[in-house]
Amino acid sequence: MKVLSGIQPTGRPHWGNYFGAVSQYIELQGAEQSFFFIANLHALTTIRDADQLRQNSFDAAMDLLALGLDPEQATLFIQSDVPEISELNWILLSGTPMGLLERCVSYKDKIAKGLPVVSGLFAYPVLQAADILAYDSTVVPVGEDQIQHVEVCRDIAQAFNHTYGEVFVLPKAKVLDTSAKVPGTDGEKMSKSYGNFIEIFEPVKPMRKKIMRIATDSRPMEDSKDPETDHLFQLFKLFGSDSQVAEMADKYRAGGFGYGEVKKALADAAESYFEPARQRREQLEQNPDRVHQILSDGAAKARRKAAEVLARAKKACGI
């Protein structure tokens, strides 16, 4: 299994990012080949400040390393440090039908949300295809909203192979497990766009204040409550041990407790859960040269593989 995934450097990770994606990426890092990159080229469609993009990219790398990405098992790099991707992107873009890109739901959704209509946003799936195909990736872990882009990648690769011969490996999407719902502070899905998120690495005191402000219903303390329908309990399940979760569920059903008690237990559990990652990140912040070296080594390894695939594509199409 050859795994490939990218993360856009659009801001600090929150609980939803971790449980919905990052933790599952880390579980896959022991595969035969695993490449994880910071997608700063993709981020150019939304971030127009050079210093911010550079800092966000470096922060994203530190975040992944602190959360458990092991450079001895996985290859971590910055997307733009592999220029072969941009060249392969143009080769693929040259033969991609407009109609294929016009059907992409993600593009339509972003336009509907009022994002600027730029060609990079429209052609995003082709650059994503270059990212995937450049490393002979066989598995691409994605959320349900990105499945179509993997299918577009397969369509592009199949069309190229039909014209020029068997050049590209066809990848398959691995849909991330989103059964562990991560509600935000308002009970809706945790998202930066909703402003209802709790960052993983924000200082403990502000984090605890956010937790204590989580919206709850107004049922009396003495009432029995169904834990499975309560978003505060759903958050606690992410962090608590099996015995802690079972004990908390019993409290809900018995009644006679206040939500403040649950919030305190959630804050304690979350603080304890992410403490090792916080410590690792502090160490990385004190040794930025190590992070730069990891990214440099990763880019060198990624370039070797991407150059091999690019050479196949160029030879096939006569460049």
- The domains of the chain are located at 2-180+288-317, 192-281
Which of 113, 174, 181, 189 is flagged as catalytic? 189
Instruction: Spell out the residues 6+ positions from residue 72 whose beta carbon is closer than 8 angstroms to its own.
Output: none
Instruction: Kindly report the pTM of this predicted structure.
Output: 0.92
Distance (Å, rounded) from C-alpha 73 to C-alpha 30? 6
Domain 2-180+288-317 has CATH 3.40.640.10: no
Active site residue 210: no
Beta bridge partners, 6, equal: 37
Active site residue 110: yes
- pLDDT tens, position by position, 183-237: 999 999 898 878 999 999 999 999 999 999 998 888 887 888 899 899 999 999 9
Beta bridge partners, 189, equal: 183
pLDDT band with cut points at 50, 70 and 90 for residue 279? very high
pLDDT band with cut points at 50, 70 and 90 for residue 178? low
Q: Could you give the 3-state DSSP secondary structure of residue 88?
A: helix
Considering Cα of 248, then 249, then 252, then 256, what sign does the dihedral take?
Answer: negative
- Confirm if 122 and 110 have CB atoms less than 8 A apart: no
Dihedrals phi, psi of 33, to nearest 5 degrees: -145, 130
Other beta carbons within 10 angstroms of residue 25's beta carbon come to 21
Determine the straight-line distance between the first and last CA of the chain, rounded to whole angstroms. Answer: 30
**For residue 274, what pLDDT is reported?**
97
Instruction: Count how many Cα atoms sit within 13 Å of the Cα of residue 20 in the half-sphere of its side chain.
Output: 19
Active site residue 305: no
Q: What is the CATH number of domain 192-281?
A: 1.10.240.10
Distance (Å, rounded) from C-alpha 68 to C-alpha 60? 13
The residue written with tokens 């593009």 in the block is 107
| Residue 277 in tokens | 């990652």
**For residue 179, what pLDDT is reported?**
58
Beta bridge partners, 76, equal: 36
Which of 113, 172, 181, 192 is flagged as catalytic? 192
Instruction: Count how many Cα atoms sit within 13 Å of the Cα of residue 226 in the half-sphere of its side chain.
Output: 2
Q: Give the percent of the chain with pLDDT over 70.
A: 99
The residue written with tokens 């990214």 in the block is 295
- Confirm if 43 and 53 have CB atoms less than 8 A apart: yes
Q: Is the pLDDT of residue 41 over 90?
A: yes
Other beta carbons within 10 angstroms of residue 10's beta carbon come to 15
Q: Which of 141, 188, 191, 160 is nearest to 15 (CA)?
A: 191
Considering Cα of 305, then 17, then 226, then 268, what sign does the dihedral take?
Answer: positive
